[in-house]
């Protein structure tokens, strides 16, 4: 009986040992430090590969070149802006200086005109009695070029009376107004230039007459009327010389605070 009991105990112990032998050990947990080191090693390897291929160096050189080109362009732009501002200022100063000198010259010439000119103006006769409209127009214009303004004004006035149907009447009207303007008779000049606008709305002298209306109002300190006329010249006749002169006078008015 004891022999059977021992045998059973031996078999049971052997089974327990065998069962333990066939059980799998638990899986080891990953080491986070080792994982981090492996990731760093992988990234470092990738960077070293880029450096070895020269791609990163090329990229850095391209960035440097772009930055240098941007700086050069910025410098050129600032230089051009400075030059443009300087040119505009010089042009404005030159125009103002020429305008003042012309006005002084016209005034001094007027004071030196001979007495015979006034006498000729008072006769109110055509410069070429019996001549054609063109002959008398050219003779009146010649007086204007010779700075004989009073005689020219009288000649153009008589021309308008003697040749009302002439194709040169709009020009004659304009130069009549101009003869008043250059002798500082701005009220009369303003009135005569406005006749060009009202009577000859299709005349080629329209932008010039409108410009001189602005100028005349400027000389009479009528700033709003001057600005209105000059802006109309600039906007309605943008490609004309009158428009450029109007823009210059508008700039001058702005600088003067008008």
Q: Is residue 20 part of a domain?
A: no
Query: Looking at residue 204, which CATH number applies to its domain?
Result: 1.25.40.10
Residues 136 and 195 in one domain: no
Q: Is residue 98 part of a domain?
A: yes
Residues 108 and 124 in one domain: no
CB 176 within 8 A of CB 160: yes
Q: Is residue 222 part of a domain?
A: yes
Q: Is residue 3 part of a domain?
A: no
Residues 108 and 119 in one domain: no
Residues 97 and 126 in one domain: no
Classified as helix, coil or strand, 181 is: helix
Residues 201 and 258 in one domain: yes
What's the CA gap between 139 and 135, in Å, rounded? 6
Q: Is residue 61 part of a domain?
A: no
Structural domain tally of the chain? 3
What's the CA gap between 241 and 258, in Å, rounded? 23
Residues 203 and 188 in one domain: yes
CB 214 within 8 A of CB 229: yes
Q: Compute the C-alpha angle 30/34/36, nearest 5°.
A: 110
Q: Compute the C-alpha angle 234/236/241, nearest 5°.
A: 50
What's the CA gap between 215 and 209, in Å, rounded? 10
Residues 232 and 199 in one domain: yes
Domain range for 257? 180-258
Q: Is residue 82 part of a domain?
A: yes
pLDDT of residue 39: 75
CB 249 within 8 A of CB 215: yes
Residues 208 and 238 in one domain: yes
What is the number of alpha carbons within 13 Å of residue 76 lying toward its C-beta? 6
Q: Which residue has the tokens 């125009």?
A: 95
Residues 125 and 154 in one domain: yes
Q: Is residue 134 part of a domain?
A: yes
Q: Count of CB atoms within 10 A of residue 109's CB?
A: 15
Residues 209 and 241 in one domain: yes
pLDDT of residue 179: 95
pLDDT of residue 183: 94
Per-residue pLDDT of the chain (258 residues; tens, 9 = 90+): 545 455 445 544 455 444 444 455 566 666 776 776 777 777 777 766 665 655 556 665 666 667 666 666 665 665 565 555 555 555 555 545 555 555 555 455 444 443 333 334 444 589 999 899 999 999 999 999 999 999 999 999 999 999 999 999 999 999 999 999 999 999 999 999 999 999 999 999 999 999 999 999 999 999 999 999 999 999 999 999 999 999 999 999 999 999
Residues 251 and 198 in one domain: yes
pLDDT of residue 113: 42
pLDDT of residue 112: 41
């Amino acid at each position: 009986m004891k022999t059977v009991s021992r045998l059973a105990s031996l078999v049971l112990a052997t089974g327990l040992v065998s069962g333990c032998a066939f059980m799998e050990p638990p899986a080891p947990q990953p080491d986070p430090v080792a994982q981090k080191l492996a990731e760093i090693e992988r990234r470092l390897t990738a960077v070293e590969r880029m450096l070895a291929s020269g791609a990163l160096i090329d990229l850095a050189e391209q960035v440097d070149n772009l930055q240098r080109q941007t700086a050069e362009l910025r410098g050129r732009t600032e230089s051009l802006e400075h030059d443009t501002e300087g040119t505009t200022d010089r042009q404005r100063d030159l125009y103002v200086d020429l305008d003042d000198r012309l006005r002084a010259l016209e005034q001094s010439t007027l004071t030196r005109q001979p007495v015979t000119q006034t006498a000729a103006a008072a006769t109110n006769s055509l410069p070429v009695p019996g001549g054609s409209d063109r002959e008398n127009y050219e003779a009146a214009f010649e007086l204007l070029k010779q700075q004989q303004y009073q005689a020219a004004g009288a000649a153009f006035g008589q021309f308008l009376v003697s040749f009302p149907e002439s194709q040169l009447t709009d020009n004659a009207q304009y130069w009549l107004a101009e003869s008043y303007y250059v002798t500082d008779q701005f009220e009369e000049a303003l009135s005569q230039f406005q006749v060009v606008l009202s009577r000859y709305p299709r005349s080629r002298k329209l932008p010039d007459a409108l410009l001189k209306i602005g100028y005349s109002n400027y000389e009479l300190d009528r700033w709003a009327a001057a600005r209105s006329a000059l802006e109309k010249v600039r906007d309605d006749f943008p490609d004309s010389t009158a428009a450029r002169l109007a823009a210059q006078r508008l700039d001058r008015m702005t600088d003067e605070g008008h």
